[in-house]
Amino acid sequence: MMRYDSGMTTGIKIRPPSPRRGQAPQGRKPVITREDLITAALKLVGPNRSVSTLSLREVAREAGIAPNSFYRHFRDVDELAIALIDQAGRSLRKIIGEARYRAASGRSIVRSSVETFMEQLSADEKLLHIVLREGTVGSEAFKQAVERELHSFEEELCVDLIRLAELNKLPIYEPQLVAKAITRLVFAMGTAAMDLPPDRHPELIEDMVKILRMIMVGTQTMAREGIVAD
């Protein structure tokens, strides 16, 4: 699908930024890598610009290549978008690893995990932002790529929840659902946080910590006493 912008400066269809490459075209590039295209795409997407609105030609333009060279690495822009999501999976796994590392420091695990997550987000990981923002509209392949990363994150988190519960001799009710809830919440609230100024982030971190604690208390209480709330 093509995208076309004839000068609109308002609306959800944002005018693509003009390529800023300073000089005239530099002639033939010696080699064009897949990473060139990924980097170019990342420059184009953002909170106001969905990957689903990217056009092949503007990615090529941003990368400083001829449009036809795009096909050396990707079949179409959807395939590039899916590659972005796959790469974002690495960032998610990095978050988990870092949270595990910090969990060993003896501080509050909920808080340190939330802070870890938010720090990584604030480090302007474009890839992370994409997987958080996108994923509910797009090709089936694209949505599945996002869903895969989400589920992978959930599963890792679930393993951690169970391990920690055993370590601390605490009960846990439905750990998989707990992991799902935490993942969905943290992703949704993390996404919202990205639209707010950084001085609002501590407040949001507090909110997230409180909510996650409610969930933890709830799961422990329900496991221990079988309480059913209405």
Partner DNA sequence: CATTTGTCTATACAACTGTATATTAATGAT
Partner DNA sequence: ATCATTAATATACAGTTGTATAGACAAATG
Closer CB to DNA, 52 or 152, in the complex: 52
Among positions 19, 29, 39, 55, the unique one binding a second copy when judged by CB under 8 A: 55
| Nearest-angstrom CA–CA distance, 48 and 175 | 35
Residues at the site binding DNA, with contacts judged by CB under 7 A: 1-8, 13, 16, 25, 27-32, 55-58, 61, 64-70, 72, 76-77
What residues numbered 158-187 form the site for a second copy, per CB under 8 A?
Answer: 168, 173-174, 177-178, 180-181, 184-185, 187
Closer CB to a second copy, 29 or 220, in the complex: 220
Other residues' Cβ atoms within 10 Å of the Cβ of residue 39: 14
If binding is defined by CB under 8 A, does position 227 make contact with a second copy? yes
* Secondary structure of residue 120 in the 3-state scheme: helix
Select the binding partner of residue 28 from DNA, a second copy, none (C-beta < 5 to 8 A, by kind). Answer: DNA
Minimum distance from residue 147 beta carbon to DNA (Å):
25
> Residue 218, exposed/middle/buried by CB under 10 A (0-12, 13-18, 19+)?
middle
Minimum distance from residue 183 beta carbon to a second copy (Å):
9
If binding is defined by CB under 8 A, does position 70 make contact with a second copy? no
If binding is defined by CB under 8 A, does position 153 make contact with a second copy? no
Minimum distance from residue 82 beta carbon to a second copy (Å):
9
How far from 173 is each of 14, 158, 162, 217, CA to CA, in Å?
46, 11, 10, 10
If binding is defined by CB under 8 A, does position 207 make contact with a second copy? yes
Closer CB to DNA, 8 or 192, in the complex: 8
Stretch that binds a second copy, among 19-27, 93-101, 116-124, 211-219 (CB under 8 A): 211-219
If binding is defined by CB under 8 A, does position 92 make contact with a second copy? no
| Nearest-angstrom CA–CA distance, 117 and 145 | 21
Minimum distance from residue 225 beta carbon to DNA (Å):
57
CA 168-213-201 angle, 5° bins: 125
> Residue 113, exposed/middle/buried by CB under 10 A (0-12, 13-18, 19+)?
buried
**Axis crossing angle, helix 77-103 with helix 126-133, rounded to the nearest 10:** 110
* Secondary structure of residue 91 in the 3-state scheme: helix
Minimum distance from residue 78 beta carbon to DNA (Å):
10
| Nearest-angstrom CA–CA distance, 209 and 107 | 13
**Axis crossing angle, helix 201-225 with helix 175-194, rounded to the nearest 10:** 170
Select the binding partner of residue 31 from DNA, a second copy, none (C-beta < 5 to 8 A, by kind). Answer: DNA
